[in-house]
Structure 1
């Protein structure tokens, strides 16, 4: 498996991975796939560390970061996200993506990385804990998707 910066040619596959989760899962609170322009803007953002995992020439997951909040005092805090395509989960793809993402963020002087995990999602919680995140709280019934209320666990990792 190769972890590398995302390229414009990767965006359709990345959008498919995310779109499936938007339509069928609860890992994102989006209910519709994001438009191509959103992915293009994400790729163009210089501080988002948009990475993909490629296996046998095919993109099988991605990781990115974004601003936690737009206020200046949060500039050293980033929110992270990792998505892995079905069939590639549990094989180390998420861990490889997270290791590369966190290293890049640390190199950029990011102090704290936060992640939100919709519950239940024991695999994602295990991935975050294995990467050194600690759970800092749960927001109960914060989102409604697929006919049910969804809790959201917040995790954080201090980088420096």
Structure 2
């Protein structure tokens, strides 16, 4: 854990973030079971995922960055929960925090920004899946 606290900015994700976001996601693919993916992605393979999270609407991508270095510390998304029409107003939310940024409140900031953005959208319910053991996600 870093000795000094960094200032964090949360903003919508943009195309220029794709390589860093893919690298962060691939860490979780390689090192944990939480993604349910078994093979890391290239940025081009992740481009459709990025494009499915525009700056408005139910499906969002929020990115946390260090305000000084602009390094990506994590991201949170709201995505389609299920493809059936009855679930249209439901979303699945998830957050990934860089391994060296854990325990600093980045995930909390991401979820706060994501849920604030969703308050203006027609969202009935937000679901999150947790693969134990994952104490931070349970909190």
Global fold match (TM > 0.5): yes
Alignment of 1:75-114 (within 5 A): 75-114=88-127
2:11 is equivalent to residue 11 of structure 1: no
2:60 to 49, 56, 68: 49
Deviations 1:84-103 (A, max 9, x none): 00111110100000011111
Q: CA deviation at 1:27?
A: 1.9
Residue 28 of structure 2 corresponds to: 21
Which residue of the partner structure matches residue 74 of structure 1? 87
RMSD: 1.3
Contact in 2 for aligned 1:42/1:50 (Cα 8 Å): no
Structure 2 residue runs without a partner (length 5+): 1-7
TM-score by length of 2: 0.85
Any runs of at least 4 consecutive aligned residues in structure 1 with deviations exceeding 3 A, and if so which?
A: none
Q: Deviation string for 1:76-117 (max 9, x for gaps)?
A: 100011000011111010000001111112211211000001
Q: Which has the higher strand share?
A: 1
Alpha-carbon contact 1:53-1:97 (below 8 Å) kept: yes
Aligned counterpart, 1:37: 44
Question: How far apart, in 2, do the equivalents of 1:38 and 1:114 lie?
Answer: 25
**Partners of 1:111 and 1:40 in 2: CA distance:** 27
8 Å Cα contact 1:84/1:93 also seen in 2: yes
Aligned residues: 126
Higher relative contact order (CA 8 A, sep 6+): 2
